Amino acid sequence: MTKLAVPHDAFVFVGDGRKALFLRNEGDEVYANFVTERVLADEPNPATREQGSDRPGRVSSGSARSAVETTDWHDIEEHKFAQHAAAALETVVRERDAPALVIAAPARTLADVRKALHDDVKARIIAEIDKDFTKMPVWEIEKHIIG
């Protein structure tokens, strides 16, 4: 893996469907020093089986009947959280005039965040990493990102 040069004051977004960390590089491209600027955490998101109470509906078409797929409430909440985190990230990047942005998240969250960001913020992305670092300490995240 090649070493990623993260500029001074660049932001690193680390997130999944339940937690997001906004890290800023207080160091420079050679000696990075990630510090936590903000943490977002979603309300507890129980499994879908605990959120829904009704049985799936049924659809009739003439004499044929079929079940309607159940709604995955857990999945919907994770998508909403990713959109909320992306909006907060946009605000921070614009307010702080971040020179660059690194996004590290599992594939689905990465896609949700990428889709929610406006073009001016997308233009600052220097790397996208398909990994979940949310349970790691900041020093270990730094080690994984800068190589």
- pLDDT at position 3 is 79
What number is the average pLDDT over the span 63-70?
64
Render 28-86 in DSSP notation, one character per residue.
-SSS--EEEEEEEEPPP---HHHH--SPP-EEEETTEEEEPPPP-HHHHHHHHHHHHHH
**Can you tell me the distance from the alpha carbon of 92 to that of 110, in angstroms, rounded to the nearest whole number?**
18
Task: Express each pLDDT in 79-111 by its tens digit.
Answer: 899 999 999 999 999 999 999 999 999 999 999
Task: Express each pLDDT in 106-133 by its tens digit.
Answer: 999 999 999 999 999 999 999 999 999 9
* CATH numbers and ranges of domains, the chain: 11-45+61-146 (3.30.420.60)
Q: Residue 39: which of 19, 25, 18, 12 has the closest Cα?
A: 19
> What contacts 143, CB < 8 A, 6 or more positions away?
none
8 Å CB contact between 15 and 85: yes
**Can you tell me the distance from the alpha carbon of 22 to that of 18, in angstroms, rounded to the nearest whole number?**
14
Rounded percentage of the chain residues whose pLDDT exceeds 90? 69
- pLDDT at position 85 is 94
What number is the average pLDDT over the span 24-50?
83
145 sits in the region (left: phi over 0; alpha: psi -120 to 50; else beta) called alpha
User: For residues 3 and 45, which has the higher predicted lDDT (pLDDT)?
Assistant: 3
- pLDDT at position 15 is 95
